[in-house]
Chains A and B, each alone.
Chain A
Amino acid sequence: MRICLFHLMPYGPLDLDYDKKYPAAWMSLPNSYYDPKEGHALYNRYLDELEYGDELGFDVLCVNEHHQTAYGLMAMPGVLAGALARRTERAKIAVLGRALPLINNPLNVAEEYAILDNITGGRLIAGFVRGIGAEYHITGSNPAKSHERFHEAHDLILRAWTEIGPFDHQGKHFKMQYVNLWPRPYQQPHPEIWIPSQGSRETIQWAAHPDRKYTYLQTFSAVDVVKRFHNEVKQAAEDYGYEASPDQLGWALPIYVAETDEIARKEAGAHVEALFNKFLRMPTEMLLPPGYTSPQSIKRLREIRRGTTSDSPPTVDDFIERGMFVCGSPATVRDTFAHHQKDIGFNVLVGMMQFGTLPADLTHKSMTLFAKEVMPYLRALPANSVAA
């Protein structure tokens, strides 16, 4: 199994009572809640945590992209990946952003990724995403044109990486008279590509296409949802006439390891609750603008969200129960992932070892325990194909 370390870089010192005044930790939450002195310390602490991940032997260090939110401070993930590029030696670096529909010149991403790939001598993993609903409000990018823009931007970036320029591109959304990328990517024909998603059918079909076979990464979902969407990837591959490799299946989630299950729950509880109940808090209209996904999917998702609103917010036990959070002693965490891998067949595990308000000392302790007691065991598990 490939073991990856993921960071959102949340604004941990957030006043968690913000929600008495504002509906979301995104977009409408005034940036007076952000203190640059805290931010200075946080960025450096979080980069230290990712660098420590390289020391501990994680296969991939993952940075992320979100905008105008306390949920994650990596609005320009290339800057952070650039900082890691020079301070790490071994691990690959995955940028689990760039939200292609939000930008007006996709070649900026082609360049940014190619530079990272050159600096690291081929340690870059290129992520492509559509961005979260709020980011369409924030950037003004049209959610109803999101899929079209994503596909056109992706195709243009791949062409810029693999074709000798100059050539011209006259697409529906992007018109470039001269495309001639300097630098070309270090990895040939191009860096490995990952597609993080919350499970849009259109994205799954597209990522699994035989021309791409990209790693599909299901993010922050209950384990039965992960299984369902991984099965959709396998089914899509089968419909295309091939068998999906376990390396095409990834799962991203928060993980916490401590001496015992009881200690783990006690130490991590409030922090993971902050992640899901405070940092990820967003009204439906912000999360699902019209057009972001098909009207039928929006209808389904809105019904699900209406069904899940309850008076008391879910607790750490609920998150563990649903398999959105794996938390416990090394043995518990090992067994949980071994069980899910046997059941689902994924071979890419993306662990978010810091989440919400989790402080530096606990993050460090959990990462160390995970690396010593869990990682060697999971890494030794053979890739396991499970039929859809």
Chain B
Amino acid sequence: MPNYETKNMTLNGCDISLMQGGDGPPVMFLHGAGGAGVWLPFMENLAQNHAVIVPDHPGYGRSSTPDWLDELTDLAFHYLDFLEVRDLSGVHVIGSSLGGWIAAEMAIRDPSRMASLTLAAAAGIHVDGVAKGDLFLWTPEERIRNLFHDPALAEARLAVTPTEEEIDIGLKNEFATANLAWSPRFYNPQLRKWIHRIKLPTQIIWGDDDHIFPAEYAAAWHELIPGSCLEIFADCGHLPHVENPDAFVATFNRFIAEIRS
């Protein structure tokens, strides 16, 4: 029985939709370019012993698109406000892809309400000489196939006909992603200069078969954040939390336990 509810709030003039479930130390999951979508098995699993919060970013999903949404760093400031307004502290922030980029931008600005950082196939930096996938040029089908290592997972997703609402949300998410990540594609040239400011315990999780940000990106993040832990999942694509949710949660729990000890 899924253990979550959908809530709405207004922040900085933006109507925010979020899913939340479970009790315990707070975990905030920041979704990637595809949106938060549904309450996923890894969220349910984390919610066994955490208070899991999954907001739709401004401009995405069922959240509104505020006038102030000009660049990705606006979302970093937005989430710092979010933690402050909800008076959350000791938050474990998990960011997937574009959400990982937001999490890193938050961490270099004000980590005071954050307990840890988990970057799963995070966008945000550029690695010279390592070709990235260009999801803006892929067809909808190619986009889904390129998310996963296991073709069966892509087939399963392709077999589902999206509803009108899901199509509209998909277009809205694409629009928002272009607005934030069109050029340079999925990174902020300024971020790398200040990543050394990240002193939070940091876990980097990557699939060894990521077609968007190849695993060399994981190594680059690991090198840029001193003391970070690096976990590469074998036979896994761009969404380790979806493709290998049990290993993802186990890795996260182990990481959290190490921080506590």
A residues sitting closer than 8 Å to B (CB atoms) are 136-137, 140-145, 283-286, 289-291, 295, 298-299
Contact A137–B137 (Cβ < 8 Å):
yes
The secondary structure that dominates the A interface is helix
Measured between beta carbons, the chain B residues less than 8 angstroms from A283 are 137, 139
Measured between beta carbons, the chain A residues less than 8 angstroms from B183 are 140-142
- Residue among B137, B168, B174, B179 with most chain A CB within 10 A: B137
Leading 5 A-B pairs by shortest Cβ distance: A140-B183, A290-B174, A144-B179, A295-B171, A290-B178
- Is B172 located at the chain interface by the 8 A CB criterion? yes
- Provide the B176-215 mask, 1 if CB < 8 A to any CB of A, else 0: 1111001110000000000000000000000000000000
Measured between beta carbons, the chain A residues less than 8 angstroms from B136 are 137, 285, 289-290
Contact A290–B171 (Cβ < 8 Å):
yes
Measured between beta carbons, the chain B residues less than 8 angstroms from A140 are 182-184
9 contacts between A and B (CB under 8 A): A140-B184, A141-B183, A144-B176, A285-B139, A290-B136, A290-B174, A291-B178, A295-B171, A299-B167
Which chain B residues in 113-146 approach chain A with CB under 8 Å?
Answer: 136-139
CB B186 to nearest CB in A, in angstroms, measures: 12
> Given A140-B182, A142-B179, A142-B183, are A299 and B137 neighbors across the interface (CB < 8 Å)?
no
Which chain B residues in 69-89 approach chain A with CB under 8 Å?
Answer: none
B residues sitting closer than 8 Å to A (CB atoms) are 136-139, 167-168, 171-172, 174-179, 182-184
Measured between beta carbons, the chain B residues less than 8 angstroms from A289 are 136, 178, 182
Contact B178–A295 (Cβ < 8 Å):
no
Contact B179–A285 (Cβ < 8 Å):
no
Provide the bound-state CA to CA distance between A144 and B33, in Å. Answer: 15
- Residue among A140, A295, A299 with most chain B CB within 10 A: A295
The residue of chain A having its C-beta at the shortest distance from the C-beta of B169 within the complex is: A295
Provide the bound-state CA to CA distance between A46 and B136, in Å. Answer: 35
Provide the bound-state CA to CA distance between A295 and B179, in Å. Answer: 13
Provide the bound-state CA to CA distance between A137 and B182, in Å. Answer: 8
CB A131 to nearest CB in B, in angstroms, measures: 14
Contact B137–A285 (Cβ < 8 Å):
yes
Contact A291–B139 (Cβ < 8 Å):
no
Provide the bound-state CA to CA distance between A372 and B232, in Å. Answer: 73
Contact B138–A295 (Cβ < 8 Å):
no
Provide the bound-state CA to CA distance between A298 and B139, in Å. Answer: 14
Contact B178–A142 (Cβ < 8 Å):
yes
Measured between beta carbons, the chain B residues less than 8 angstroms from A291 are 174-175, 178-179, 182
CB B134 to nearest CB in A, in angstroms, measures: 8
Contact B139–A144 (Cβ < 8 Å):
no
Contact B178–A143 (Cβ < 8 Å):
yes
> Given A290-B171, A290-B174, are A143 and B182 neighbors across the interface (CB < 8 Å)?
yes
The residue of chain B having its C-beta at the shortest distance from the C-beta of A28 within the complex is: B137
Provide the bound-state CA to CA distance between A264 and B182, in Å. Answer: 45
Measured between beta carbons, the chain B residues less than 8 angstroms from A286 are 137
Provide the bound-state CA to CA distance between A291 and B174, in Å. Answer: 8
Measured between beta carbons, the chain A residues less than 8 angstroms from B138 are 285
CB B127 to nearest CB in A, in angstroms, measures: 18
Provide the bound-state CA to CA distance between A107 and B171, in Å. Answer: 34
Contact B137–A144 (Cβ < 8 Å):
no
Contact A298–B178 (Cβ < 8 Å):
no
Measured between beta carbons, the chain A residues less than 8 angstroms from B179 are 142, 144-145, 291
Measured between beta carbons, the chain A residues less than 8 angstroms from B176 are 144
Provide the bound-state CA to CA distance between A298 and B138, in Å. Answer: 16
The residue of chain A having its C-beta at the shortest distance from the C-beta of B185 within the complex is: A140
CB B73 to nearest CB in A, in angstroms, measures: 15
For the A-B complex with A289-B178, A295-B171 known, give 15 more contacts whose Cβ atoms are closer than 8 Å.
Answer: A137-B136, A137-B137, A140-B184, A142-B182, A144-B176, A144-B179, A283-B139, A285-B137, A285-B139, A290-B175, A290-B178, A291-B174, A291-B179, A295-B172, A299-B167
Measured between beta carbons, the chain B residues less than 8 angstroms from A299 are 167-168, 171
Measured between beta carbons, the chain A residues less than 8 angstroms from B139 are 283-285
Provide the bound-state CA to CA distance between A136 and B183, in Å. Answer: 10
Measured between beta carbons, the chain B residues less than 8 angstroms from A295 are 168, 171-172, 174-175
Provide the bound-state CA to CA distance between A363 and B172, in Å. Answer: 46
- Contact partner of A290 (CB less than 8 A), chosen from B167, B168, B177, B184, is B177
Contact B168–A144 (Cβ < 8 Å):
no
> Given A137-B136, A285-B138, A289-B136, are A144 and B178 neighbors across the interface (CB < 8 Å)?
yes
Provide the bound-state CA to CA distance between A144 and B72, in Å. Answer: 13
Measured between beta carbons, the chain A residues less than 8 angstroms from B171 are 290, 295, 298-299
Provide the bound-state CA to CA distance between A143 and B176, in Å. Answer: 11
CB B94 to nearest CB in A, in angstroms, measures: 26
CB A354 to nearest CB in B, in angstroms, measures: 31
Provide the bound-state CA to CA distance between A355 and B244, in Å. Answer: 54
Measured between beta carbons, the chain A residues less than 8 angstroms from B168 are 295, 299
Contact A144–B182 (Cβ < 8 Å):
yes
Provide the bound-state CA to CA distance between A136 and B185, in Å. Answer: 12
Measured between beta carbons, the chain B residues less than 8 angstroms from A137 are 136-137
Provide the bound-state CA to CA distance between A141 and B174, in Å. Answer: 16
CB A198 to nearest CB in B, in angstroms, measures: 19
Provide the bound-state CA to CA distance between A256 and B68, in Å. Answer: 51
CB B51 to nearest CB in A, in angstroms, measures: 33
CB B55 to nearest CB in A, in angstroms, measures: 21
CB B163 to nearest CB in A, in angstroms, measures: 13
Provide the bound-state CA to CA distance between A320 and B28, in Å. Answer: 59
Measured between beta carbons, the chain B residues less than 8 angstroms from A141 are 183
The residue of chain B having its C-beta at the shortest distance from the C-beta of A145 within the complex is: B179
Provide the bound-state CA to CA distance between A286 and B184, in Å. Answer: 17
